[in-house]
Amino acid sequence: MSCDDNHEARTKDRAKRRSLPIAGQTSSPKYWRSVEERDRTSPVPGAANEFAGGTFDVAQYGQEDGNGGNSVSRRGFMQVASLSTAMAAVGACTKPAHKIVPFVRRPEEVTPGNPLHFATAYGLDGYASGLLVESHEGRPTKIEGNPAHPQTLGATTSFEQSLTLSVYDDDRAKQIRSGTRPLAWRTFLAETAARTSQLGQNGGAGLRFLISPTTSPFLGDLRKRILDRFPSAKFVSYSSVADDGATDGTKLAFGKPLIARHKVASANVIVSLDADFLGEGNEQTRLSREFAARREPSRQMNRLYVVEPAMTITGAMADHRLRMPGGDVGAFLASLVSMMASRGIAALAPLASLTHGQRHWDPKWLVAVATDLERNRGNSLVIVGRRQPAAVHALAAALNVALGNLGNTVEYATPLTSDPTAGVAPLGTLVQEIAGGGVDTLVITASNPVYGAPVDFKLAKLLERVPNSIYFGLYEDETAAACKTMIPAAHPLESWGDLRATDGTVSIVQPLIAPLWGGIQEADVLAAFVGEGDVGAHALLKKFWKTQGKAPGDFDGTWERWLADGIVPGTAAPAEAGLTVDGQALAQAVAPALGAARQGMEIAFASDPKMYDGRFANSVWLQELPHPITKLTWDNAAMVSEATAKALNLEDGDVVEISYRDRRIDAPILRVPGHADDVVTLPLGYGRTGGEKVAAGIGFNAGELRFSDAPWFDRGVRLEKTERQIKFSITQDHWTMAPDGRETPPPVVSATIAEVLNPHSKFHTEVEDRRPDPEHPQPVIHKPVDYSGQPYKWAMAVDLNKCTGCSACVVACQSENNITTVGKENVRKGREMQWIRIDRYYTGSFEDPEVVTQPLACVHCETAPCEYVCPVNATVHSDEGLNEMVYNRCIGTRYCSNNCPYKVRRFNFLNYINDYSAARELGMNPDVTVRTRGIMEKCTYCVQRIERKRISTRIEGRMIQDGELLTACQQGCPTGAIVFGSLNDSNSKVSQLHADPRRYDLLYEIGTRPRTVYLARVRNPNPELGQPEKAGGHE
């Protein structure tokens, strides 16, 4: 059989380096030798027999792997292979496969070389994002959103995209250990059993669990069973970026902790108060989609007001943006509320008195917002960010209720997480207990609390007082170092489980690959405390769901469907009905919180769009991903406004000593346009000191200044300039579209809705001058090639009006196309490799700029300047108009890149793939050539996807339908800003967009005839606030 031969061949040349996770390799003699060696070192008696029998229990995989090889273990591959085969064999893995199925007896669904997609879910802070994972021969290679999932709607964030990198991360913890003593899982179970029986005697008084906030019903059930066994044990949820303010706020407003579910789709006016709802949070992906849907230029276009200290993705999309210190936002809202009250909104009357003294914002602004909200009662929305205190959230809730938005643009529901709050307060009580010495056994499954917890808790020190501290984590990080016992966690793509979306819908989390380094699953760790540590997560999970009564009748059949669909139908949780706000009570409750703000410069902490709270710090993709706003890579910076920097006489890269209360840290300064004055914003997640190799020594740890009483912002920070300077690896400077005053056509066009709707406005002439006009075609020397005869004429359209610059497409592209990373030094030299470059342009003033982001990859010019200069025909045009790159023909003269007016070509200046670990290579997309040194590369319009789809449709004897072929960037984009298709199909979405009145061609004037075109950015400014400065204005 041909595939066998392939395996033979492959095995021969690869075996030295590693074995591929393909069953059928069993025929390789090398392979068996390694098994014997393997089994000799295996601490598990009978492992050899187990393998001789080839038996294998999905529910137990990895557990015997006591010694955890520090390279990709052959056993891991066997399990992967059988797992994927088994999954395939039964649609989507209904029951544990007990036999290894070699490919010689290949199940129908599995064709070597053809990927399979499996539905699963991932929860950043406990709430589910439904994913589809592409798997090649059992190796997950690409993350896509699950269209059926109510939260992701088929899109993803850059965090989720990076999972296929982290699952193969060679730095991951690989060994269960107690101190330095390696443990086999079963030994650990034995020890735990002994310990717990002692603990049991006093009801587990000394037993504490510090977990990540989770919505998993399954884990919730385990927790219940543990508490049944140990009545006086306690669970505490903690996340260093928890949104407790929101839940506490609703408690103030409605008397019980609730979570808000926003529906921006039906909001005409959105007031975002320090809320980066397009850039972070559990609803991010869905809200982006809904928001973009309302940006279509029409009378229905929504309007976004943003009040925030530092420029965020949401702020960049704002129609009107007001910058102010985070601490003043509450005061602003109070004034807004009282103004609304004064306009006769009865429900707010009791709150009218809250109006605040300080008013350093433009009163016109406040009036305009108030009027707009009033005008759109019921269809307006006030969103408050996670950083704001409870009082602000409460006021917002009251305002939303008073405006009648409840149920239409926002609704409230009981939190789905096992603990309503997961922030400083609950952790504080635990810290008390530890300090009191009352904790004997502490199980930490929260993500790296030692790094994330407030400094005044001194968690690392306290942990020494816990006789038996057990940390369960992916990496040997700061927390692992502080705990006695370390249990390497299985990666989310290696684990069984379940999660709920914000609307309550349950998704079953299923593994895509066996734990590469014998990681343990969270369920198994918890189960160990009810004596079921060896049953296996899969069995427990299925047992649990069998009892939930969601699947009457044939459970296995239903279970199968749940796994296949990625959601459990009918699990959505209803919203709270009949909520009312007691104005009086609220007024009294919030009044003190809004009291006099302290003086001095404000220190503000922010979760990082790339590192989040630091848990992604070991991802080279995210480290090298340019920050959506600052375009900073491989670093974080203390962000200040131009004015503040001037006042302190600071330049970008100057290292300052930040002193706050009794602590000081050094951090480099970065001036950010649109940043509030007298505020320094410190992104979290950097300055890691754990065992992660990539994360080590990058940036500074803002957490060093984070106190439990001021987790997000506070006044009274001082910046002292030091002598030191650092060089940032920044991919784009603060350049407007005409940095030095030159008068070249602006790369991005933006206009106001009024201009767009008026056919005679200057805007229309401007874009018409920048796109082909059938009446007056551009003069040409050579007759344009006619593509109408071809089956397809591939093209792309990017709607700048929808692009938020979130950068999910960049990582999606990186993962789909095996794009390498180059490291800090080379980024600084200008050698970054991401095929998509999201250009960020400021227009207007440095203080209050408008931001437009423009994703720019190869635009596939029909008269490509890169092609005629290549001396070896390494880049040529395809019949369907793709500008093709022939890697193995390229000799690397770089002439094509020089002659590319868009500068979208990327060159392998060094052999970057040299230092890939064997594991990392597993994550490569086998459909895409891995480029070595000296080769030019660039966007291919995902030609491998085109060809795969072409083949499948040809087999079905039909054409590729519009919309069934998505490029990676298009698929990842949460807002649907990127559209790809064939221009020969006049009904295709892309054809329509090419005919859109907002369409313009980048660098049209030089006659490259690009296939990727742009749709102008449209803003919907409030006429009462006057027109914002026209884009293209110069700095």
Q: How far is the CB of 940 from other proteins (least distance, A)?
A: 16
Q: Is 248 a binder of other proteins (CB under 8 A)?
A: no
Give the residues across from 793 on adjacent strands: none
Q: Is 1001 a binder of other proteins (CB under 8 A)?
A: no
Q: How far is the CB of 938 from other proteins (least distance, A)?
A: 10
**Would you say the C-alpha torsion 311, 313, 314, 320 has a positive or negative sign?**
positive
183 or 806: CB nearest other proteins: 806
In 3D space, the residue among 997, 978, 993 whose CA is nearest the CA of residue 766 turns out to be 997
Stretch of 389-397, 542-550, 564-572, 1000-1008 lying at the interface with other proteins (CB under 8 A): 1000-1008
Stretch of 224-232, 690-698, 779-787, 945-953 lying at the interface with other proteins (CB under 8 A): 779-787
In 3D space, the residue among 565, 542, 548 whose CA is nearest the CA of residue 94 turns out to be 542
Q: How far is the CB of 635 from other proteins (least distance, A)?
A: 18
Total site size for other proteins, rule CB under 8 A: 73
Alpha carbon distance 569, 693 (integer Å): 42
Residues 104-163 that bind other proteins (CB under 8 A): none
The mark string for 65-94 relative to other proteins (x by CB under 8 A, - otherwise) is ------------------------------
Q: How far is the CB of 969 from other proteins (least distance, A)?
A: 17
Tokens of 245: 């303010």
Q: How far is the CB of 781 from other proteins (least distance, A)?
A: 9
Q: How far is the CB of 886 from other proteins (least distance, A)?
A: 8
Q: Is 898 a binder of other proteins (CB under 8 A)?
A: yes
840 or 999: CB nearest other proteins: 840
- Secondary structure class of 411 (helix, strand, coil): strand
Q: Where are the beta strands (DSSP E) in 220-363?
A: 234-237, 259-262, 269-273, 303-308, 320-323
Buried b (16+ CB within 10 A) or exposed e, 46-67: ebeebbeeeebbbbbbbbbbbb
- Token look-up 């052999």 returns 911
Find the binder of other proteins among 508, 861, 943, 983 (CB under 8 A).
861
Q: Is 866 a binder of other proteins (CB under 8 A)?
A: yes
Stretch of 616-624, 674-682, 813-821, 1001-1009 lying at the interface with other proteins (CB under 8 A): 1001-1009
Find the binder of other proteins among 10, 95, 117, 877 (CB under 8 A).
877
Q: Is 1034 a binder of other proteins (CB under 8 A)?
A: no
Q: Is 901 a binder of other proteins (CB under 8 A)?
A: yes
**Would you say the C-alpha torsion 846, 848, 849, 851 has a positive or negative sign?**
positive
582 exposure class (CB count in 10 Å sphere: 0-12, 13-18, 19+): middle
Stretch of 145-153, 481-489, 892-900, 1026-1034 lying at the interface with other proteins (CB under 8 A): 892-900
In 3D space, the residue among 55, 45, 20 whose CA is nearest the CA of residue 34 turns out to be 20
Find the binder of other proteins among 557, 868, 964, 1027 (CB under 8 A).
868
Q: How far is the CB of 151 from other proteins (least distance, A)?
A: 32
Residue 127 C-alpha from the chain's centroid: 13
In 3D space, the residue among 791, 952, 953 whose CA is nearest the CA of residue 878 turns out to be 791
894 or 949: CB nearest other proteins: 894
> Quick check: 629 and 851 in contact, CB under 8 A?
yes
In 3D space, the residue among 732, 851, 795 whose CA is nearest the CA of residue 1014 turns out to be 795
What length does the chain have? 1035
Q: What is the 3-state secondary structure (H, E, C) of 915-930?
A: HCCHHHHHCCCCCCCC
Find the binder of other proteins among 77, 559, 700, 902 (CB under 8 A).
902
Residues 721-750 that bind other proteins (CB under 8 A): 732-733, 735-745, 747
Q: Is 829 a binder of other proteins (CB under 8 A)?
A: yes
Q: Is 887 a binder of other proteins (CB under 8 A)?
A: no
Alpha carbon distance 849, 867 (integer Å): 38
Q: How far is the CB of 699 from other proteins (least distance, A)?
A: 23
State which H helix or E strand residue 794 sits in: strand 794-799
Q: How far is the CB of 942 from other proteins (least distance, A)?
A: 21
- Token look-up 């193969």 returns 168
Q: Is 689 a binder of other proteins (CB under 8 A)?
A: no
Q: Which amino acid is at 810?
A: V
Q: How far is the CB of 941 from other proteins (least distance, A)?
A: 16
Q: Is 29 a binder of other proteins (CB under 8 A)?
A: no
Find the binder of other proteins among 182, 865, 997, 1033 (CB under 8 A).
865
- Token look-up 């998993």 returns 216
Give the residues across from 718 on adjacent strands: 659
Find the binder of other proteins among 782, 915, 956, 958 (CB under 8 A).
782
416 or 890: CB nearest other proteins: 890
Residues 1002-1021 that bind other proteins (CB under 8 A): 1002-1003, 1006, 1008-1009
Q: Is 871 a binder of other proteins (CB under 8 A)?
A: yes
The mark string for 258-297 relative to other proteins (x by CB under 8 A, - otherwise) is ----------------------------------------
Stretch of 112-120, 253-261, 799-807, 835-843 lying at the interface with other proteins (CB under 8 A): 835-843
Residues 903-962 that bind other proteins (CB under 8 A): 903, 905-911, 933-936
What contacts 13, CB < 8 A, 6 or more positions away? Answer: none
555 or 735: CB nearest other proteins: 735
Q: Is 191 a binder of other proteins (CB under 8 A)?
A: no
What contacts 788, CB < 8 A, 6 or more positions away? Answer: 984
Alpha carbon distance 132, 564 (integer Å): 10
Alpha carbon distance 708, 428 (integer Å): 8
240 or 804: CB nearest other proteins: 804
Q: Is 785 a binder of other proteins (CB under 8 A)?
A: yes
Alpha carbon separation from 114 to 512, 700, 773 (Å, rounded): 16, 44, 43
What contacts 803, CB < 8 A, 6 or more positions away? Answer: 838, 853, 854, 855, 973, 975, 977
Stretch of 170-178, 678-686, 782-790, 844-852 lying at the interface with other proteins (CB under 8 A): 782-790
Find the binder of other proteins among 91, 595, 784, 1026 (CB under 8 A).
784
Q: Is 873 a binder of other proteins (CB under 8 A)?
A: yes
Find the binder of other proteins among 891, 947, 961, 1029 (CB under 8 A).
891
In 3D space, the residue among 907, 906, 911, 914 whose CA is nearest the CA of residue 933 turns out to be 911
588 or 765: CB nearest other proteins: 765
Q: Where are the beta strands (DSSP E) in 617-757?
A: 632-633, 638-640, 654-660, 663-671, 679-683, 713-725, 729-730, 750-752
Alpha carbon distance 189, 183 (integer Å): 10
Find the binder of other proteins among 826, 917, 953, 992 (CB under 8 A).
826
475 or 1014: CB nearest other proteins: 1014
What contacts 411, CB < 8 A, 6 or more positions away? Answer: 260, 261, 263, 575, 576
Find the binder of other proteins among 10, 546, 894, 948 (CB under 8 A).
894
DSSP 618: T
> Quick check: 882 and 943 in contact, CB under 8 A?
yes
313 or 611: CB nearest other proteins: 313
Find the binder of other proteins among 117, 377, 831, 1034 (CB under 8 A).
831
Torsion of CA 1017, 1022, 1027, 1029, to 10 degrees: -50
Stretch of 45-53, 393-401, 693-701, 854-862 lying at the interface with other proteins (CB under 8 A): 854-862
Residue 390 C-alpha from the chain's centroid: 26
Q: How far is the CB of 862 from other proteins (least distance, A)?
A: 6
Find the binder of other proteins among 869, 913, 918, 959 (CB under 8 A).
869
